[in-house]
Amino acid sequence: MKSELKKLRQLNIQLTKKALRESVTPDTLIIQAVKTVEETDHLLNNYGKRLREWLSLHNPELCAEEESVIELAKHVLTGKCAPKKNSYGSIFSDEDKSPLQLISALIFSLEEHKQELLSYVERTMKTHYPNIHLLAGSEIGAQLLDRAGSLKKLAEFPASTIQTLGAEKALFRHLKTGSRPPKYGILFSHDLVHKAPKNKQGKAARLIADKISIAARIDYFKGEFRGEELLKDVKEKLK
């Protein structure tokens, strides 16, 4: 009896290990990359604020003028952050400048990593999911995959779910209290939606979600590339 159980356990272990090996598909990797991009963005934001505040003790005029934190970091790293005459910034010794160098190097490095990750996402989406890539773009497409959890789930979602992915707070509030439903979630950042006139944004979100849903299904079931005609269809309807 007990040896039967042991054999059954070994069989199940082998089957499970095989299933785990096979569970890593391009969408799993894209989701890891896009989650890392999000986390990198948080870090960039926090360190960026810190650099700006710290550097403005030494060169407030530069910090006030330069909007981009990456450019500020470049100024520090190339040694071009000395204040002009009659600045209200304080003199920093070399010793005091060195932590600013460290933070700037870190910010620069984070930004480089973020760009490399986005480039990886772009290449992977284009190779494996060309329809979603054309319809949604690689960043939004990857975020949709992240929210869905997998390409399979994204392909199984009705278009209305895709339309509201990212607006869960508003969606459940609508379902529970009857308040007005959300028109878009992540899709708001799609060019066709946020660039549309305000009274057409809801329609744009709905149309693009419909086509993304079709695109996801084509990509999941490995159909041919029909992204061009789908995109054309949306643009026609939005005129």
Partner 1 sequence: MNIKPSKIFEVYENVEKGKKQLYTLNLIPGRKVYGEKLFMKGNQEFREWNPFKSKLASTILKGGQNIHLRKGNIILYLGSSTGTTVSHVSDIIGEKGMVFGVDNAPTVMREFMKLVTDRENITPIMESAAQTEKLRERLPKEVDILYQDVAQNNQVQIFLNNLVFVKKGGYGLLAVKARSIDVTKNPKTIFKDVRKQLEKETTIIDYRELHPYQKDHCMFMVKK
Separation CA 152–CA 46 (nearest Å): 35
Selected from 3, 20, 67, 236, the binder of partner 1 by CB under 8 A is: 20
Q: Is 3 in the site for partner 1 (CB under 8 A)?
A: no
Number of residues that bind partner 1 (CB under 8 A): 20
133-172 residues in contact with partner 1 (CB under 8 A) are 172
Q: One-letter amino acid identity for 48?
A: G
Separation CA 63–CA 123 (nearest Å): 36
The smaller minimum CB distance to partner 1, of residues 8 and 102, is found at: 8
Q: Is 4 in the site for partner 1 (CB under 8 A)?
A: yes
Selected from 3, 23, 86, 93, the binder of partner 1 by CB under 8 A is: 23
The smaller minimum CB distance to partner 1, of residues 174 and 237, is found at: 174
Selected from 94, 95, 110, 175, the binder of partner 1 by CB under 8 A is: 175
Selected from 103, 115, 176, 225, the binder of partner 1 by CB under 8 A is: 176
- Which listed range, 8-16, 50-58, 184-192, 228-236, lies at the site for partner 1 (CB under 8 A)? 8-16
Separation CA 126–CA 137 (nearest Å): 9
Query: Residue 21 Cβ, how far from partner 1 at the closest point, in Å?
Result: 10
Chain residues in the site for partner 1 (CB under 8 A) = 2, 4-6, 8-9, 11-13, 15-17, 19-20, 23-24, 28, 172, 175-176
